[in-house]
Structure 1
Amino acid sequence: MTTPEESRTRRPTALEIATQWSRLPPEHLRVALEHLELELRREHARESARERHQASLERERTASASALEAARMREEHVTERARIAAQDRRDQRAHQLYVGGLAAGFVLAAGMLAGSVIVGLDGRQWLAGLLAGPGLIALPGVFVLRRSDRPTARPRPRPLPPPTFPERLPDDRAA
C-alpha cells in the first residue's frame, strides 16, 4: 500500500478509489461507482487532451523541420545555380581568350609571312629568312597554344633558402 506522504503527493488511481469504497456498505457502492465513472471520464479527457497536444506538437515539429529542409534545399539550389553561372562565365572568358590567341597567332603568322615575301622581293633575303624562319613557327605557337616548349624556355631560378644563424659564432668561446 501507499504511505500517507505518497498519497498526498500523487493522485489515487480509480482502482484505489474503488477499493476504498468497497469497504463501505452496499448502498454506498452505487455512489462510489458514479464517482468512479466521473473520475474515469475526467482522466480519459485529460489523457486525450494530452495526446492531442503531443500530436499537434509533433505535427508542428515535423512541419518546421520540413520547412527548414525546404529552405536548405532552396539555398543549395541557389548556391549551385550561382556556382554553375560563375563556371559558365569562366568558361566563356577562357574561350574568348583562346579565340583571341588563335586570331592573334594567325594575324602574326600571316603578317610575318607577308613581310618576309615583301622584304624578300626587295632583295633583303637575310631579313626575309629571319621573318620566315623559326619565329614564324614559335611566336604563333605561343599565342595559340599558350605555352612554349620546355627545352627552348629558360628555367626559372630556384629561390635561395632562408639564411640560418648558428647559436654560437666560431670565435665565441665558452666561458
Structure 2
Amino acid sequence: MTTPEEGRTRRPTALEIATQWAQLPPEHLRVALEHLELELQREHARESARERHQAALERDRAASASALDAARIREEHVTERARIAAREGKEQRAHQLYLGGLVAGFVLAAGMLVGSVVVGLADRQWLAGLLAGPSLIALPVVFVLRRSDRLTARPRVLPIPSAPEQLPGDRPA
C-alpha cells in the first residue's frame, strides 16, 4: 500500500486499484474492473498520443536535419568550386611566369651568341669568349629553370695554407 504522501505525488497502478477492490464484494469488483478497463483505455490512448507526437517530432527533426545537410553540401560545393577556380588561376599565372622565363632565356642566349660573334669578328676574342662561355649557359638557366646551383653560384674557397710561404700564387723557383 501507499502512504498518503506517496499517493499525492504519484498515481496508483492498476494492480493497486484491483487489490483494493478485491477486498469488497463481487458486485463491487465487477464495477471496479469496468472502471479499471476504462482507466487502462485512457492510459493507452494517452500513450498512443504521446508516441504519435514523438514520431511527429522525429520526422520534423529528420526533415530539418536533411535540409541542413543539403545546405551544408551546397555550401561545400560552392567552396570547392571557388577553391578549384583559385587553384586554376594560380596554375595559369605560374605557367605564364615560366613561359616568360623561357622566352627571356632564349632571347638572352640568342643575344649573347650574336654578340659573341659580332665581338669576335671585331678582334676581341676574350670578350667573345666571355659572352659564349659559361655565362651563355648560366644566365639562361637562371631564367628558364628559375634556380641557380649553389655550387656554381659561389666561388670555391681554397684551403688555408699550412705555411705562410706556400701561398696559392707562389711557385717555387
Coarse TM-score class (shorter-chain normalised): 0.7 to 0.9
Give how far 1:44 is off.
0.4
Aligned to 1:150: 150
Give how far 1:100 is off.
0.8
Written as runs of structure 1 = structure 2, the 5 A alignment for 1:82-93 is 82-93=82-93
Aligned to 1:6: 6
Q: Give the Cα separation in 1 of the matches to 2:55 and 2:70.
A: 22
Q: Give the Cα separation in 1 of the matches to 2:8 and 2:147.
A: 92
Q: Give the Cα separation in 2 of the matches to 1:27 and 1:124.
A: 139
Written as runs of structure 1 = structure 2, the 5 A alignment for 1:10-159 is 10-154=10-154
Aligned to 1:170: none
SS at match of 1:12: coil
Give how far 1:132 is off.
1.6
The amino acid across from 1:2 in the alignment is T
Give how far 1:148 is off.
1.3
After TM superposition, the structure 1 stretch with the greater mean CA deviation from structure 2, 55-64 or 139-148, is 55-64
Give how far 1:141 is off.
0.9
Alpha-carbon displacement from aligned partner over 1:103-142 (angstroms, at most 9, x marks no partner): 1100111111122222333443333223222221111111
Q: List alignment gaps of at least 5 residues for structure 1.
A: 156-175
What TM-score do the two structures reach when normalised by structure 2?
0.76
Q: List alignment gaps of at least 5 residues for structure 2.
A: 156-173
How many residues align? The count is 155
Q: CA RMSD in A?
A: 2.2
Alpha-carbon displacement from aligned partner over 1:65-100 (angstroms, at most 9, x marks no partner): 333333333333333332232222222211111111
Give how far 1:46 is off.
0.7
Q: Give the Cα separation in 2 of the matches to 1:134 and 1:115.
A: 15
Give how far 1:43 is off.
0.3
The amino acid across from 2:13 in the alignment is T
Q: Using the aligned pairs only, state the percent identity.
A: 85
Q: Give the Cα separation in 1 of the matches to 2:65 and 2:17.
A: 44
The amino acid across from 1:80 in the alignment is E
Q: Give the Cα separation in 2 of the matches to 1:154 and 1:132.
A: 20
